[in-house]
Structures are given as structure tokens and as C-alpha cells.
Amino acid sequence: MNKYSLLIPLLLFVTVTKAQRTIELSHYLFPEFTKGSVMMKDGTETSAMLNYNAVTREMIFQQNGRVLALADPTLSLTDTVRIEDRKFVLFDDEFVEVLLQEDTKLMTCYRCKIIPPGNPAPFGGTSQTSSVDNYSTYRSGNMVYELKLPDDYKIEPNNIYYLDNGSGWKKINSMRQLKKIYKKKKERFDQYFSEQKIQFNDPVGIAELVEWLERE
């Protein structure tokens, strides 16, 4: 069997979803399914049309008109996923993108929240919830992969980062935590942040900030 064939035995063990609505990719990392490859730990490489679902935090691919998610036993045997020039690996059982991999290592896990429309609240206001409990609504019937959210629903990025700058891996949930790690370089941090006005959910900006801080 050609190692680049889309169908390999391990990929039969996946989560299957059926297309029932127009695909809405706002909760996907890439604007459309993109050609990439899945490298297994034994060196086997498989080509596929790939994307990443930030709601379910799964690497997904298209096959025979269906949307599938990498799942065990394939998942535990996966070494690297590449989409375009971007590299993804498993870290703490989740796919993360490798942003820096030299002396300073930085990775990000893409996550997002689905925020439903506001509900009536006292005094004419509205209230919104964005807890994980709401995801079950969109996961029912395995529809989350191809669910087209109504216009009044919102997608809110909620990324986290993993940084190892020589003292072990640290999990970073906010800009404040990142700044605390570089508290000895507070002035440099504040200068860069003020000039570049980067956002925490911008992985390219965060990677450039970390590189800049590590230069001295």
C-alpha cells in the first residue's frame, strides 16, 4: 500500500460525522481544509486534507465526503502533523503548534469558546454564558465539525501557550502570566508590548515577543 494513500488501517479508528449543513469554519484554525500530512512514530506518512477544530481541540480531515477526527489508536501513534509550513505535535494529549523550537521552545494550543446570543436579563440587559457545558449543544449528533452557527453566535479565541526557556515547561494562560515569567525584563516587555500592541491570542506576535525578550 502506498504510504501516501489517504486510507490506512489506523485511520479507520476515528470519530465520524455526517454533513448535514453548510460548513462554517469560523471555529476552525484554517479558513478551509488544507493539504497536509500525518507522520506516524514508525515513519509512515499519510497525505490528507486537514484542519483543526478549536472547539473540540481535535485534528480533523476529510475523507470520502465525511469529516473525521484523529482518534486512538491512530492518535497515540501520531508523531507530527504538518499543514502548509506549520508543525503540530501532541503535548499533554492535545495538539499544539510548534512556534519556536531552538534554545527557547514555545508552543500554543488553539482553543475557542462558543458564546450563544444574550438571554434576557433583569433591567433590560442581556447575559451570556461561554462555559464548556454549552458545547454539548453543538456536539449532539456529532454535528460540531460541520455545524453552521447562527449569525448571533460568537466564537471567542481562548489560546494557551507552553514555554520552556531553559527552566522547564510552563503553562501560560494570560499575558499577565507571560509577563511574570519575564519579570526581570519588565521594561523590555512593557516597551515591546506598548509599541507592538500585540494580543494574547496572536501566536505570531507572542512568538516574536518571546524571541525579542530572549535576545539578551
In a shared domain, residues 136 and 205: no
What's the pLDDT score for residue 64? 83
In a shared domain, residues 180 and 153: no
In a domain, 205, yes or no: yes
106-125: per-residue pLDDT in tens?
999 999 887 777 655 555 54
d(CA 80, CA 89): 5
In a domain, 130, yes or no: yes
Cell of 191: 516597551
Regarding beta strands 170-172 and 58-63, do their DSSP bridges make them parallel or antiparallel, or are they unpaired?
unpaired
Cell of 31: 479558513
In a shared domain, residues 152 and 175: no
Closest by alpha carbon to 56, among 18, 111, 130?
111
In a shared domain, residues 136 and 182: no
In a shared domain, residues 132 and 208: no
In a domain, 93, yes or no: no
What's the pLDDT score for residue 114? 77
Are residues 209 and 193 in contact, defined by beta-carbon separation less than 8 angstroms? yes
In a domain, 121, yes or no: no
In a domain, 95, yes or no: no
In a shared domain, residues 131 and 189: no
CB atoms within 10 A of CB 17: 19
In a shared domain, residues 140 and 209: no
In a shared domain, residues 134 and 162: no
Contacting residues for 171 by C-beta, under 8 A, at least 6 apart: 160, 161, 162
The list of the chain residues with pLDDT below 70 reads: 1-26, 118-151
Backbone angles phi, psi at 194, to 5 degrees: -70, -40
Contacting residues for 196 by C-beta, under 8 A, at least 6 apart: 205, 208, 209
In a domain, 200, yes or no: yes
137-163: per-residue pLDDT in tens?
344 344 444 455 666 777 888 899 999
Question: What's the pTM value of the predicted model, to 2 decimals?
Answer: 0.75
In a domain, 100, yes or no: no
In a shared domain, residues 143 and 201: no
Helix axes of 203-213 and 186-196: crossing angle, nearest 10 degrees: 140
In a shared domain, residues 176 and 69: no
Range of 152's domain?
1-84+126-157
Are residues 66 and 59 in contact, defined by beta-carbon separation less than 8 angstroms? no
In a shared domain, residues 162 and 72: no
Q: What percent of the chain has pLDDT over 90?
A: 47
Count: domains in the chain: 2
d(CA 155, CA 163): 26
Residue 98 identity (one-letter amino acid): V
What's the pLDDT score for residue 67? 82
